[in-house]
Structure 1
Amino acid sequence: MSTEIRYNTSNSNNTGPYYKDITYREAGKFEETRFEKIHNVIFKSSDYASVIIANEIAQLIKEKQARQEHCVLGLATGSSPIKVYDELVRLHKEEGLSFANVVTFNLDEYYPMDKSNVQSYHYFMYEHLFDHVDILPENIHIPDGTVLQQNLHQYCIDYELKINSFGGLDFQLLGIGRTGHIGFNEPGSHYNSVTRSITLDHLTRSDAAPSFFGIENVPKKAITMGIGTIKKAKRIVIMAWGHKKAEIVKETIEGKITSDVPASYLQRHNNTTFVLDKEAANELTRIKTPWLVGPCRWTDKVKNKAIIWLSQKVQKPILKLTDKDYNDYGMSGLLAEEGSSYELNIRMFNTLQHTITGWPGGKPNADDTYRPERNTPHKKRILILSPHPDDDVISMGGTFLRLIEQEHTVHVAYQTSGNIAVSDAEAMKYAEVIRNMTPDKDKEEISSIIMELKKKQERAIDAIEVRNLKGLIRRGESYGATRFLGLPDAYVHFLNLPFYETGTVKKKPYGKEDKNILLKLIKKVKPHQIYAAGDLADPHGTHKVCLDILFDVLKQLKEEEFMKDCWVWLYRGAWQEWDIHDIEMAVPLSPDEVLKKRKAIFFHQSQKDGVMFQGDDSREFWVRAEERNQQTAQRYHKLGLAEYEAIEAFRRYHF
C-alpha cells in the first residue's frame, strides 16, 4: 500500500506559515512505522532523493520571494548534500531560480582552518553552490576557522545573534555522522547548546581522514551551531546515504532521546523528516525484520531473510528450527501460509545449498538446474573489473584462481591507476632505485621526479610525473599478482579512467570518455561473465563511481547480441561482505587456495603496512579479506551446511 503525505512546513509557533507543494511517497501502513519516532521517507536512489530535497528548498525560496521576505537557510557540508546543491545550481541556471532573497548560515567549520584550504567548508560551499548562483555575498555566513582563540567565544555569540536577527532559520538541511552528530554536535552535547567550539570525536575524525590523507591531519576541533540553534528551525530535513549510516539512523529514529546520540533530540521537533536511501534504511525494524512489526507480505526474498535471521537468532541450524521458534519470533503468519516449519526448513536449506559451487564459471556436463551458473559454454570469456589495482585479488582472489585453473578465458581490467594510494615514501624508494640504474646522460627526468617529491608540501597535489610513477608502481604490482595466478599479460588491461586522475581524493564526475573506455573493452571481450565490485563502502567513493559507469555501459550495450548471454556478478570483501540472504553464488576455498590468495595480495606491496585509505578498519587488506571469507564460511556452517575453510560470495546483478 502506498500513501501520500503532504507536509505542513509552518514553524512550531504557527506564525508565518508556508506550505510546499512537494509530496513525498512512503511505503507501508502506519503500524509498520510504530517503532519510529521521527518521520522518515526512503528512496531507492540518493540522487533522486537529493532532487526532491532541492525542489522543496526551491519552492520555499519562491514562496518567500512572493511575499518579499528573506529565506533563511541553514546549510550542511560533506558528501551528503552535494547532489542537493548540484540540483539547486541547475534550477538557477536552467529554470531561473533566484537566490537574491536567500540568507544562509552554515552549520560548522573545522578549527583552526583557513578559508582557502580545499578541506575547509568555506571552500566547499563556494565550490558547490555560492560561486554558481546569484546570492548576495553579504547574505552568506560561514563560521570563520581563522578567528583567534581569545576571540572565539565572543565570535560564537555573535554568530548566534546574527541568526536570531533574521528571525531564525526557515529551513535547516542536515547530514548525520556515525557518532550521531548533527553539525559537529558530538555525543554529550546539551539539548539547549548554542554556537560554540567543540572537540571532535575520534570516529568523526576517522571518517574525515581520507580527505585529509590521514587522521593525523584532521583538525581536532570545530565551530558548530548548537542543538538548541538547530531545533529552532521551522523545518528540518536530515539526510543519510549508504550502509555505514544504517546503525546510527536506527538508533536516532527508533531509540530513546539521549545525549549519546545528539540527532535523537530531533524526536522533539515537530517538523523534521529523515530522508534515506535504501542502504541507510536497512537497519530500521520495518525494513530489516518486518515480521516483528506486524503482518507482512511473505515474498520468497522475505522468507529467506526471515528464516536465516531466525536460525541466527536462536543459534540453531536451519533444519532444527521448530514451530515454536517461528511462533516465538513473530513468524506465525509464515507458518499459517506454509503449514509447518519442517517444509520451510528443508526448502531454505536446499536454497542455501544450491548457492555453493566450486565451479564459478559453470560445471561442464553437469545438470545446472540448481547451480548458480550455467554449464554452457564450458569455456567462458570472463571479464573481472577491479576499481583499484588490488580489489580483484582482495575480494575474489580465490575465485579468480579457480576460473583460470578451470581453463576459462579470463581478462582482468583495472579501472583506475590507483596512484593516489601510493605514499611519497614508497614513490621515493622506487625513484631512487631507478636513478641508480639509469646512465648519467638519461638521469634528468628521474632526478626531477625525486626533486618534486623532496620539495612537495604536505597534502599538495602530485606533479603529473610523480603521479605517473605511482601509477607504474601499482601496475607493476598488479602484473606480479596476475602472473602468480597464472594469467598471461595479454589478458591484463589498465583502463586509467579519466575521472580518477585529479591527483586528489576528490574525483571528477565521470563522463562519456570514462564510459567509452569500458564500453570498448566489453565489446572487444564479449564476456559471458562480468565480475564487478559491489562493495560501496570504500572511504573515497571510487567503487561506486566505477559501478555506476558499468551500469551506464550495460544500458548502452543491452541490445547487443553477445550481452544476451552475459551475466554480471558483484563481489565484496575489502570493507564489507554480503549478508547470507543476499548471496547467490558462494565459492568455497581450500586452505591452499586461501594461502595462494594471500600471496597474490602480498604482491601489492605499496598497499601494505600503513595503507593510506583503509577506512576505520585498522587491519591490513589481506587480513580483512581472509577473516571475512572465513566468517562467511562459518555462518554457512552454523546454518547447518558443510564446513569450509573460507567462502567468497557473489550476488547477481540483473540489467
Structure 2
Amino acid sequence: MKTNLYQNAKSISYEESGKFEETRFEKKHNVIFSNSKEGSIKVAREIADLIISKKTKGKLCVLGLATGSSPVKVYEELVRMHKEEGLSFKNVVTFNLDEYYPMTKENIQSYYYFMHQHLFDHIDILPENINIPDGTVSVDDLHQYCIDYENAIDQKGGIDLQLLGIGRTGHIGFNEPGSHFNSETRSIILDSITRFDAAPSFLGIENVPKKAITMGIKTVRKAKRIILLAWGQNKSSIIKSTIEGEISSKVPATYLQRHNSTTFILDIEAASELTRIKTPWLVGPCVWDQKLSSKAIIWLSQKTGKSILKLIDKDYNDNGMSSLLAEEGSSYNLNIKMFNKVQHTITGWPGGKPNADDTSRPERANPAKKRVLIFSPHPDDDVISMGGTFDRLVEQGHEVHIAYQTSGNIAVSDHEALKFAEVTKGMRCNNDNGLMKKIIDDIVCKKDNAIDSVDVRKLKAMIRQCESLAATRYLGVLDENVHFLNLPFYETGSIKKNPMGEDDIQIMCKIIEEIKPHQIYAAGDLADPHGTHRVCLDVLFEALKILKPKFFMKDCWLWLYRGAWQEWDIDEIDMAVPMSPDQVLKKRKAIFFHQSQKDGVMFQGNDIREFWMRAEDRNNKTALKYKELGLADYAAMEAFVKWDY
C-alpha cells in the first residue's frame, strides 16, 4: 500500500545541495525534490536572486530560457514574484534556446507564442531585451542569422544562467543525437522521437515541423550556470543515461558532465531509474523495511532469472544484499515470505470474495455486493486499463458506476468529426441541418492548429460519449450508472489545459458523495504524455481530502490503475486480477467500441501500435513476470495499487 506519490523521495533544499555526495554511479550533481512545484519554486528563487544581485551591481542579467512543459511552473513562480513581491525584469535580457522552422510568431505552437503566454506578457521586461530565434527567416539568410544570434549573446557578455529541459532523445535545446560538442547556433533536422512527442500539441505528427533553429552545445556550455529540469517518469530513463552514462553524442545532454556549474533538478519520478533510488543496496548500507526488502527481492529474482523460491544465499551476497540476508538469517526465510506476499496479491475477486476468509486477500469480503466507482480520465481509459477487472466486477454482481472525468473531445480528429456531421446532415433532420452545415464549414475552413469552435467541440465530445455508452452497455452497465463529468479544466479546446480549479474539485466531490462507493478505481498513470491523467488524479486527491471526514468514506478503498503507457512494478502491486483468454478477447472488443481512437490516434507517442495492442501486451507481460517469479501461469493480468488517502 502506498501513502503518497513521493514517499521514497528525499527532498534536498538548495541550501543543502552543496552537501551532495555523488555515488560511484553518478557523474553530475542532481537534486531530487518531492514534486515539480517544489523544485520549480527553488529554481525561480535562484533566478530571482541572480536578477536582484545583478541589479544591485548595475549590471544586466542575461538568461537563457527554455520552452516545453518543464519550465512552466518556474515561469509561473517568476510571474507571481513580479506581481506580489515587486521583482523587476527591466535589467534582464533573454535568449531562447530554439524555435521550430519554419514557424510564424502568431502560430500557437511557436515558442514565441509560448514565451509570451507564460512569461513575457506578465512581467515588465523590455521588449527589445527579448531574443527568440525567428522561424520566418528565409532559407538564404538562415546561416547568417544563426551567426548573428550567436554574436548577440556574446555582445551581452554571455549567458549568466541557462535553463534547460531534456527530451527523451537526450536533446537539450534541439541538439539531437549526433550533435557535436562544439556546435553553435544552427538549423537542425528533428529526431523522429522528438516529433512524436510534439505530435499531440500539433494534433498529429504530420503537422510537426521537421526542422528547427537551436543554440548549439557549445553555446549552451558557455553559460556561467546551467540548470536542467526534468519531471515525470517518462524522463527517468534518459535522466539515468545522462547522469550515469558515458559522455556521447548519442545522448547530447551528457556533454553537461563537462560543465563545472550544472545542476539537474528532478522530481522523484524523473529520478526513479537512478541507481541510488531504484537499487540503493548497490550504493551503500540500507535500512531494510518491508517495502525496500520486497523491491530488492523482486529485483534479485528478475536479475538472476530465478524464481523467488530458488534464490540462494550466494545470490543475495553477490548482489549487495548481504545485510538483508544477515537480518533474516537465511535466504529460505526471505524467499518464503516474499513468495507468500506476491501470491496473496492475486485474486479473481476484485470486489472481494463473499463468505471467504479475507485475511490474506487484497479486498474485503464484506459487504458482499459493493458500490464501485471507476474514474476514467478520458472516455476509454476504463476499458483500456482495467477492462478485465471492470468485467469481473459487473459479472460478480457489484453496483458498478463509471465516471468519465473529461470529454476527450481534443482526441477526435477533424476527419472523424466531419464524417459524423455529414451523416447527420445527410439524414435531413430539420432541427439539426443548419447546425451540421455550420459544423462542417467550421471543420473545412479551420486554419492549421486553430482551436475548434464550440459546436465542433460539442460534436467531438458527443462522439466519445456515445462510444463510451456502447462499451459500457456491452459490459453490462446500466446507462444511468454512466456519468460524464466534463471537468472544466479540460475544456480549453487546445492541448494546453487550465490548472485544476475549485469547480473541478466540487464536481468530483458531488459524484463521490452521491454514490458513496466502497471502492474507487482511478488512473495513477504518472507518465501520461499530455498531463490530463495527472490533473485528474490530483483533482481526485483534493476531493478525497474534503470528503474524508464523511462517515461513508470510512468504508471506501482507493485502487489505482496505470494507463496504456506502462504498468506498476511487481513489488508495488497490491492486487493482480488474472484474465482468461476469453476475457482478454472481451476486453479487446470493449476497446473496439471506441472507434474514433482506433486508427491513427493522435496521442500514441512514439509507439505506433493501437491501444488494444498495447494493453494486451502489457497485461501479458505482467502475467509472464508473475510466472517467472514462480507463481501461477495466467494469460494476462491487470494490476492495482491500494492508496491510503
Task: Return the TM-score normalized by structure 1.
Answer: 0.95
- Whichever residue aligns with residue 581 of structure 1, its letter is D
Query: Given that residues 109 and 121 in structure 1 are in contact (C-alpha distance below 8 angstroms), is that contact kept between their aligned partners in structure 2?
Result: yes
Partner of 2:21: 30
Partner of 1:177: 167
Report deviation, 1:447. 2.1
- Whichever residue aligns with residue 314 of structure 1, its letter is T
Partner of 2:501: 511
Query: Given that residues 4 and 26 in structure 1 are in contact (C-alpha distance below 8 angstroms), is that contact kept between their aligned partners in structure 2?
Result: no
Q: Secondary structure at the match of 2:200?
A: helix
Cα deviation, 1:428-471, whole Å, max 9, x if unaligned, reads 22222222223457522222222222222333221111111111
Q: Secondary structure at the match of 2:419?
A: helix
Partner of 2:576: 586
Change (3 A) 1:355 1:3: closer
Inter-partner Cα distance in structure 1 for 2:208 and 2:215? 20
Inter-partner Cα distance in structure 2 for 1:5 and 1:496? 38
Partner of 1:381: 371
Moved more, 589-598 or 347-356: 589-598
Alignment of 1:363-382 (within 5 A): 363-382=353-372
Cα deviation, 1:299-350, whole Å, max 9, x if unaligned, reads 1111111111111111111000111111111111111111110000000000
Inter-partner Cα distance in structure 1 for 2:173 and 2:102? 16
Q: Secondary structure at the match of 1:222?
A: strand
Which residue, 337, 341, 359 being the options, matches 1:347? 337
Partner of 1:277: 267
Inter-partner Cα distance in structure 2 for 1:439 and 1:154? 60
Change (3 A) 1:494 1:260: same
Cα deviation, 1:226-264, whole Å, max 9, x if unaligned, reads 111111111111011111111111111111111111111
Q: Secondary structure at the match of 2:199?
A: helix
Partner of 1:9: none
Query: Given that residues 2 and 26 in structure 1 are in contact (C-alpha distance below 8 angstroms), is that contact kept between their aligned partners in structure 2?
Result: no
Report deviation, 1:25. 5.3
- Whichever residue aligns with residue 102 of structure 2, its letter is P
Counterpart check, 1:597 vs 2:606: no
Query: Given that residues 573 and 628 in structure 1 are in contact (C-alpha distance below 8 angstroms), is that contact kept between their aligned partners in structure 2?
Result: no
Which residue, 242, 248, 258 being the options, matches 1:252? 242
Query: Given that residues 481 and 603 in structure 1 are in contact (C-alpha distance below 8 angstroms), is that contact kept between their aligned partners in structure 2?
Result: yes
Partner of 2:61: 71
Inter-partner Cα distance in structure 2 for 1:541 and 1:507? 9
Cα deviation, 1:83-111, whole Å, max 9, x if unaligned, reads 00000000000111111111111111111
Alignment of 1:98-137 (within 5 A): 98-137=88-127
Change (3 A) 1:599 1:336: same
Cα deviation, 1:23-75, whole Å, max 9, x if unaligned, reads 24599x836x2211100011110111111110111111111111111111110
Inter-partner Cα distance in structure 1 for 2:242 and 2:546? 41
- Whichever residue aligns with residue 90 of structure 1, its letter is R
Inter-partner Cα distance in structure 1 for 2:536 and 2:593? 23
Inter-partner Cα distance in structure 2 for 1:535 and 1:244? 10
Partner of 1:163: 153
- Whichever residue aligns with residue 388 of structure 2, its letter is G
- Whichever residue aligns with residue 63 of structure 1, its letter is S
Partner of 1:444: 434
Counterpart check, 1:626 vs 2:626: no
Partner of 1:520: 510
Counterpart check, 1:263 vs 2:259: no
Inter-partner Cα distance in structure 2 for 1:428 and 1:197? 37
Report deviation, 1:536. 2.8
Moved more, 547-556 or 443-452: 443-452
Q: Secondary structure at the match of 1:30?
A: coil
Change (3 A) 1:283 1:5: closer
Q: CA RMSD in A?
A: 1.7
Partner of 1:544: 534
Inter-partner Cα distance in structure 1 for 2:193 and 2:304? 32
Partner of 1:300: 290
Query: Given that residues 185 and 262 in structure 1 are in contact (C-alpha distance below 8 angstroms), is that contact kept between their aligned partners in structure 2?
Result: yes
Which residue, 208, 224, 228 being the options, matches 1:238? 228
Partner of 2:447: 457
Change (3 A) 1:54 1:485: same
Inter-partner Cα distance in structure 1 for 2:156 and 2:387? 59
Inter-partner Cα distance in structure 2 for 1:451 and 1:138? 41
Q: Secondary structure at the match of 2:546?
A: helix
Which residue, 226, 248, 253 being the options, matches 2:216? 226
Inter-partner Cα distance in structure 2 for 1:158 and 1:570? 52
Alignment of 1:37-76 (within 5 A): 37-76=27-66
Cα deviation, 1:172-204, whole Å, max 9, x if unaligned, reads 110011111111111111112111111111111
Which residue, 146, 168, 182 being the options, matches 1:192? 182
Partner of 1:421: 411
Q: Secondary structure at the match of 2:375?
A: strand
Query: Given that residues 577 and 628 in structure 1 are in contact (C-alpha distance below 8 angstroms), is that contact kept between their aligned partners in structure 2?
Result: yes
Moved more, 632-641 or 206-215: 206-215
Query: Given that residues 58 and 88 in structure 1 are in contact (C-alpha distance below 8 angstroms), is that contact kept between their aligned partners in structure 2?
Result: yes
Query: Given that residues 170 and 234 in structure 1 are in contact (C-alpha distance below 8 angstroms), is that contact kept between their aligned partners in structure 2?
Result: yes
Inter-partner Cα distance in structure 2 for 1:4 and 1:534? 22
Cα deviation, 1:372-420, whole Å, max 9, x if unaligned, reads 1111211111110001111000100111111111111111000111111
Change (3 A) 1:3 1:284: closer
The share of aligned pairs that are identical, in percent, is 70
Change (3 A) 1:26 1:497: farther
- Whichever residue aligns with residue 285 of structure 1, its letter is T
Which residue, 203, 209, 217 being the options, matches 2:193? 203
Report deviation, 1:3. 10
Change (3 A) 1:265 1:431: same
Inter-partner Cα distance in structure 2 for 1:305 and 1:4? 21
Count of aligned pairs: 638
Query: Given that residues 311 and 318 in structure 1 are in contact (C-alpha distance below 8 angstroms), is that contact kept between their aligned partners in structure 2?
Result: yes
Change (3 A) 1:489 1:26: farther
Inter-partner Cα distance in structure 2 for 1:205 and 1:388? 23
Moved more, 258-267 or 84-93: 258-267
Pick 1 or 2: higher relative contact order, CA cutoff 8 A, min separation 6.
Answer: 2
Task: Return the TM-score normalized by structure 2.
Answer: 0.97
Query: Given that residues 252 and 263 in structure 1 are in contact (C-alpha distance below 8 angstroms), is that contact kept between their aligned partners in structure 2?
Result: yes
Q: Secondary structure at the match of 1:117?
A: coil
Inter-partner Cα distance in structure 1 for 2:213 and 2:120? 21
- Whichever residue aligns with residue 364 of structure 2, its letter is R
Counterpart check, 1:570 vs 2:560: yes
Q: Secondary structure at the match of 1:94?
A: helix
Partner of 2:70: 80
Q: Secondary structure at the match of 1:212?
A: coil
Which residue, 381, 397, 400 being the options, matches 1:391? 381
Q: Secondary structure at the match of 2:67?
A: coil
Cα deviation, 1:541-571, whole Å, max 9, x if unaligned, reads 1111111111111111111111122111110
